[in-house]
Amino acid sequence: MKKTAQLYEGKAKKVFDTDTEGIVIVSYKDDATALDGLKKGTIMGKGTINNRMSNYLMQLLEKEGIPTHFVEELSDRETAVKKVTIVPLEVIVRNISAGHFAQRYGVEEGIVFDEPTIEFSYKNDDLHDPLLNAYHAVALGLADKSEIQLIKSMAFRINDILKEFFKTKKVKLVDFKMEFGRLPDGTIVLADEISPDTCRFWDLETNEKLDKDRFRRDMGGVEDAYEEMYRRVFG
């Protein structure tokens, strides 16, 4: 399989077309942004860590019956994935209060929920990814009712699997963001990435932050946190 034209460059990844029908290649960058791209930086080694970690987790999920876009890891930074049309929703599952949830509702971080929550944002940088509910998503034609239902049940199942997995690595999965895509036949699959960019990870004992919040909040130790998560997942 060979790369052909670049199809897209996002904030953290590039996507290339290939000479194989239905397959694209994702290339992970070390670039990091926050606050809708206002804050820019580099996290050395992030591309490799996110690529390998995301691929490992997608394969774990596939084994548990969750369809994903993953096809084959090609190199440290590059992965072949199924070409999908992204459903323009950021699907966020939370187990513990943090980030925008804590801000929006005026509560402290660290409240452990009895049941996980789910929320959707409209993936639209110009509008700053506004929060929306399932009715809004259907009204806007972003997904139909049955797709929303399926995405919800997949998201909670993915949370159950990942939460258990990370517990064995002495990590709390606080919250995370997923994106789903449609294959040409309409099948919904998990797409994008699962990494310290898109998840909040806290050490099980100390609650030390081991994710992109260290970059978002200028806490320092950003590279160390990504490397520590890599070691825990693969160690």
State which of residues 13, 175, 215, 222 lies at the interface with ligand TMP (CB under 6 A): 175
Our CB check for ligand TMP shows the closer of 16 and 101 to be 101
Closest CA to 129 of 106, 99, 174: 99
Region binding ligand TMP by CB under 6 A among candidate stretches 56-64, 67-75, 91-99, 220-228? 91-99
192 binding ligand TMP? (CB under 6 A): no
Q: How many residues of this chain bind ligand TMP (CB under 6 A)?
A: 11
Q: How far apart are CA 178 and CA 190, in angstroms?
A: 7
Q: How far apart are CA 93 and CA 42, in angstroms?
A: 27
Q: How far is the CB of 182 from ligand TMP (least distance, A)?
A: 20
Q: Which amino acid is at 205?
A: E
228 binding ligand TMP? (CB under 6 A): no
180 binding ligand TMP? (CB under 6 A): no
Q: How far is the CB of 145 from ligand TMP (least distance, A)?
A: 24
State which of residues 46, 52, 200, 209 lies at the interface with ligand TMP (CB under 6 A): 200
Q: How far apart are CA 71 and CA 94, in angstroms?
A: 28
- Residue 230, classified by CB atoms within 10 Å of its CB into exposed (0-12), middle (13-18) or buried (19+), is buried
- Residue 88, classified by CB atoms within 10 Å of its CB into exposed (0-12), middle (13-18) or buried (19+), is middle
Our CB check for ligand TMP shows the closer of 28 and 176 to be 176
88 binding ligand TMP? (CB under 6 A): no
209 binding ligand TMP? (CB under 6 A): no
Q: How far apart are CA 36 and CA 195, in angstroms?
A: 18
State which of residues 57, 191, 199, 229 lies at the interface with ligand TMP (CB under 6 A): 199
Beta strands (DSSP E) in the chain are: 3-9, 13-18, 23-28, 31-34, 39-42, 70-73, 78-82, 85-86, 89-96, 112-122, 131-132, 171-182, 188-191, 199-203
Tokens of 89: 């929703």
13 binding ligand TMP? (CB under 6 A): no
Angle at 195 between CA 93 and CA 85, to 5 degrees: 75
99 binding ligand TMP? (CB under 6 A): yes
Region binding ligand TMP by CB under 6 A among candidate stretches 37-45, 68-76, 92-100, 183-191? 92-100
Residue sitting closest to ligand TMP (CB): 99
Residues lying near ligand TMP in the complex (CB under 6 A) are found at: 92, 98-101, 175-177, 198-200
